[in-house]
Amino acid sequence: MAWEGDNAIGIVRQTMGTTNPVEASPGTIRGDLAINIGRNVVHGSDSPESAERELNLFFSQGELLDYSR
C-alpha cells in the first residue's frame, strides 16, 4: 500500500506505532499485531526521499495510480 498527502509520512508512522512493538502503543498496527522488532508487520518510509526510493523498489511503473475523493 502506498499513501500520499499532507503529512502522510507522519500520520502513517503514528498509525504503525514505534518500530519496537514492545514500545508501541495499543491501538497501533505494531502495538496490536507485531511479534518482535524483527517481525514488526509493516514498513513505513521515514522521509519523502526514502519514500521515493522505496516506492521504486516495491512497485513497478504503472502500479501506482492517482486517486482523489
List the chain domain ranges: 8-58
Q: Are 24 and 30 in contact (CB under 8 A)?
A: yes
pLDDT in tens, 3-60: 999 999 999 999 999 999 999 999 999 999 999 999 999 999 999 999 999 999 999 9
pLDDT of res. 67: 82
pLDDT score of 69? 77
Confidence (pTM): 0.82
Catalytic residue numbers read 43
Per-residue pLDDT at 63 exceeds 80: yes
C-alpha cell at 19: 518500530
C-alpha cell at 45: 518510509
The CATH classification of domain 8-58, taken from the options 3.30.2350.10, 3.30.70.141, 3.40.50.300, 1.10.3720.10? 3.30.70.141
Binned at pLDDT 50, 70 and 90, residue 64 comes out as: very high
